[in-house]
Structure 1
Amino acid sequence: MILKVKRLDPAAKMPVRTTTGASCFDVHALEGGAIPAKSRGFVRTGLAVAVDKGFEVQVRSRSGLALKQGVFVLNSPGTVDSDYRGEVGIILMNLGDDAFTYKAGDRIAQIAVCPVIMADAELVETLDDTARSSGGFGSTGR
């Protein structure tokens, strides 16, 4: 499978796989900026991508940013559908006590190509019973 990448801005950096076994590509900020403490921000990549039908591109946090600075992809995993051709943008959340400052070219997230099962929705009157039933949100204990 090939991840097709289009530069929407000449300054945009290509996604890179930093090791041969990496499942994700690092993506870079197109421009510098800052996200205040306890706030969210939108970071442009300057890139558009395309994958085959039946696949999606997932936008994920970088573990080092999350651990060291409390910065992560807010809607992780973000989804880039196979028919979307606009710019890939990254919604970052800064839970740190200080502003998160980034420069153009900094690695700010990672993307993975993942298969998707295309299901149809059907309205039904009842659902099959299970032992769990409607228990959720902590109902199974710690």
Structure 2
Amino acid sequence: MGDVSLNVMWVAGADMSVPLPSYETAGAAGADIRANFPDRQSVTLAPGARALIPTGLAMAIPRGFEVQVRPRSGLALKHGIALVNSPGTIDSDYRGEVGVIVLNTSDAAFEIAHGMRIAQLVVAPVVQAAFAEVATLDDTPRSAGGFGSTGHG
């Protein structure tokens, strides 16, 4: 699949010196997005707390695509920072500010500083299904087995 263009726009009050989302390596699937607080301050998350972190950006995603908001593995491993609705989806018809719902799962407070890389964005194609009601479904070897039914290894 070829490259996709995403038009981004600063929202009112955003710090335009904060870098736009960027891929940190040539092989990266996710582009890092940063916290962009209108007051240029930081937010400290107590253990177990969550907050909606502003990014200062709105975007126009092409029809037929979504942008998935995913956690950064380093923040998760080193600090217990997770995203509550992971992966989050930004639909192609949304034009508001992108916000990231961050959760502190650790037992220590964590500071999210202005300009900090807080999540990654993955651009993905979307397929919309036609839902058809039927009386029965085809049978498979797995059938209705779920939640561990295929084993532990």
TM-score (norm 2): 0.87
Q: Is residue 2:123 matched to residue 1:113?
A: yes
The residue number in structure 2 matching 1:26 is: 32
* Identity of matched residues, %: 51
User: Which of 56, 69, 73 matches 2:83?
Assistant: 73
Give yes or no for contact 2:14–2:36 (8 Å, CA) kept in 1. no
* Residues matched between the structures, number: 142
Q: Unaligned 5+ residue runs, structure 1?
A: none
**The residue matched to 1:66 in structure 2 has which SS?**
helix
Q: Give me the whole-angstrom Cα distance separating, in 2, the residues matched to 1:75 and 1:4.
A: 24
The runs of at least 4 consecutive aligned structure 1 residues that moved more than 3 Å come to none
1:59 match = 69
- SS of the residue corresponding to residue 98 of structure 1 reads coil
**Runs of 5+ in structure 2 lacking a partner?**
none
C-alpha distance after superposition, 1:94-142 (max 9, x if no partner): 1111111111101100101111112121222211111111111111220
CA RMSD of aligned residues (A): 1.3
User: Distance in 2 between the 1:141 and 1:21 partners?
Assistant: 33
d(CA) in 1 for partners of 2:87, 2:7: 20
SS of 1:65's equivalent in the other structure is helix
